[in-house]
Structure 1
Amino acid sequence: MAAAASLALLVALVKLGSESGIALPEILFWRQLPTVPLVLLFFWSQGRMADLKTDRLRQHGKRAVIGLMGMVLNFGAVTLLPLAEATTFNFTSAIWAVILSALILHEHIGIWRWSAVALGFGGVIIITQPGDGHIPVLGAAVALGAAFMIALISILIRDLSRTEQPLVIVFYFSLLSLPILGGALPFFWTEKTVEQWAILIGAGLVGLLGQFLLTAALRYGSVASVIVMDYSGLLWATLLGYALFEALPSTTTWLGAPLVVAAGLIIAWRENLVRKKVRPPATL
């Protein structure tokens, strides 16, 4: 829940930065930059620099590439959509996870989860009102793409968490993505006001906190349980959207968002039951 609150604040800062004239590649670069020195400082102060050593650099690289693509889509959606709607579309990551499990992992998906998938996409259709709604079709498509990437990233983080500490995963994501973002920076650089620098620094610090909390949540809890807690982010997105941008969700969002949330809750409930069925009995 703390991760959800932090990430809601992050996307609000991203939207503020974008509306103030800062280009998305710049926002991404400054979002990632504070992570590397702060994590290094933390491990150095604890005398634990050896903990940053990894034998899974290739997996970290894959996570960095997919994570960077996800960030571009996620932050891009925030610039195209109101906060509450962008957050709601993010919740379809649970739906994408079910589809990926069926297509890639060949997992058996029962009627409950397929019904949840249909329910969730029904909610998306209600929110977007294709061709006749207040939500830009491009914005909706970008947001759904971001949710798809989040589902992939969750699987990768879960795998990395078997051997890596949360801060190590966060560190390598930033370390490996910064050269790519730095290479694009000269093409988008502009002079900054004091307010813009405050937004960029705040986004970097809040993003680091949210990323660490989310990675820790995926380490200590199941993906399904983390997704359930993530729904509290809709409340924060609604409040921040009203406080900072004087924007409240539309009627169609109030009607469609509960369907998307309900779909995620059904998926989490069924996955929890499936894990209990396959879990071997404890031995004394």
Structure 2
Amino acid sequence: MPLPQPGRLTAPVVWSGLSTNVRGGLLMLASAFFFSVMATLIRYLGQTLPTLEMAFFRAAFQAVVLLPFAVMAVRRDPSALFTRRLGLHGIRLGLTVVTVMTGFYALVNLPLATAISISFSRALFVTLLAVVVLREVVGPHRWSAVAIGFLGVLVILRPWTGGQVDLAMVAGLISAAAVAGMSICVRLLSSTEGTMVMMLYSSALMSVILAVPAAFMWVTPDAVTLLLVLAMGGSAVVGQFLLISAYRHAEPSAVAPMNYTQLLWVTALGFVLFGEFPGPAIWTGAALIIGAALYTLHRERQRGRIRHASEPPAE
């Protein structure tokens, strides 16, 4: 069989020649980049646009992008968007609204690296909720990892400094907990619902819910700001698509660590655009949180119970 000639090796051939875990890892790296761009744009736009308005734009953009695909799906199968689990979708929708509102508030009011470091604590909350909601049995190794991870959260929050905790840090922690709750909902819904149903329901309904309150504090963006808003929404959709694709290509435990490269991206972007650079406490706390999350993934892989829920679900 003749070898491919130099210079004529196409991208698809190179891509198909990679292992599934390598492909998944590259997709996750790209996803982390786009989510970092989204976070940076939220931080920048939050100086002029209300949080509610940005959250509305974020949800509406995703709904508009998904709508043509939903129409095609219904044409092929009239029951494609049908669900018998509206109650669970409603719970997930409520958690999504909490996630977006508190997460955006944290991104706007905290240094980027600090907000992203706190968001990584979602993996710790997933373990706690899995015990309470799914009745999973967690051994001493995973409980130790959770304890170390929350120690990292305390190192970042530093409640012993000045006697009070920054409200934006609390908002970031609430957002992480809500993301964990969404992950549990996705785990329960995934047995009967497709990705399109879960993504479209949350984005479309959240657009409707946020439209009225956003209108009361609406700030009409100029042309440049509108382009940045569209870039924020586009980055979110692309990042989510790449995240889902990464998990379809590879084992979750192989690709999940790549998502933590967000911290490197936002540190670089925060330094260049806003003159921010995390101090020792942020690096230490982030290391403890990420280390605890990675150890949890390692233990789950050893026990053959790898889950997707340690990462943000489709929104």
Shorter chain as denominator, the TM-score bin is 0.7 to 0.9
1:45–1:146 Cα change, 3 Å: same
- 1:166/1:212 contact within 8 Å kept: no
Q: 1:174 to 1:113 in 2, by over 3 A?
A: same
- 2:121–2:173: 8 Å Cα contact kept in structure 1? yes
Mapped contact 2:158–2:165 kept (Cα < 8 A): no
- Equivalence for 2:82: 54
Residue 164 of structure 1: CA displacement?
Answer: 3.2
CA distance in 2, matches of 1:234, 1:145: 19
Amino acid at match of 2:53: E
Q: Provide closer, same or farther for how the CA distance between residues 78 and 167 of structure 1 changes in structure 2, counting only shifts above 3 A.
A: same
Instruction: Name the CA distance, whole Å, in 1 between partners of 2:128 and 2:232.
Output: 32
Q: Does 1:38 align with 2:70?
A: no
Q: Aligned residue for 1:25? A: 52
Q: Distance in 2 between matches of 1:183 and 1:92?
A: 32
Aligned letter for 1:26?
A: E
Please tell me whether residue 64 in structure 1 is matched to residue 64 in structure 2: no
Report if the CA contact (8 A) 1:124-1:260 is conserved.
Answer: yes
Rounded Cα–Cα distance in structure 1 between residues aligned with 2:166 and 2:211: 31
The answer for unaligned runs of 5 or more in structure 1 is: 278-284
Separation of aligned partners in 2, 1:49 and 1:16: 42
**Does the 8 Å CA contact 2:33/2:262 hold for their aligned counterparts?**
yes
1:76/1:7 CA distance change after superposition, 3 Å: same
Query: 1:235 Cα deviation (Å)?
Result: 1.4
* Residue segments in structure 2 that go unaligned for 5+ positions in a row: 1-27, 307-315
Q: Which amino acid aligns with 2:32?
A: A
Q: Aligned equivalents of 1:38 and 1:177: distance in 2?
A: 15
Q: Which has the larger radius of gyration?
A: 2
Match of 2:188 in 1: 159
Tell me the TM-score normalised to structure 2 length: 0.79
What residue is the counterpart of 1:196 in the other structure? 225
More displaced 10-residue stretch of structure 1: 53-62 or 76-85: 53-62
1:280 alignment partner in structure 2: none
How far off is 1:276 after superposition? 5.6
Candidates 103, 106, 119, aligned match of 2:132: 103
**Partner amino acid, structure 2, of 1:6:** F
Pick one of 231, 235, 239 that aligns with 1:210.
239
Question: Is 2:156 the counterpart of 1:132?
Answer: no
Q: 1:142 to 1:218 in 2, by over 3 A?
A: farther
How far is the alpha carbon of 1:96 from its aligned partner? 0.8
Percent sequence identity over matched residues? 32
Between stretches 50-59 and 180-189, larger displacement belongs to 50-59
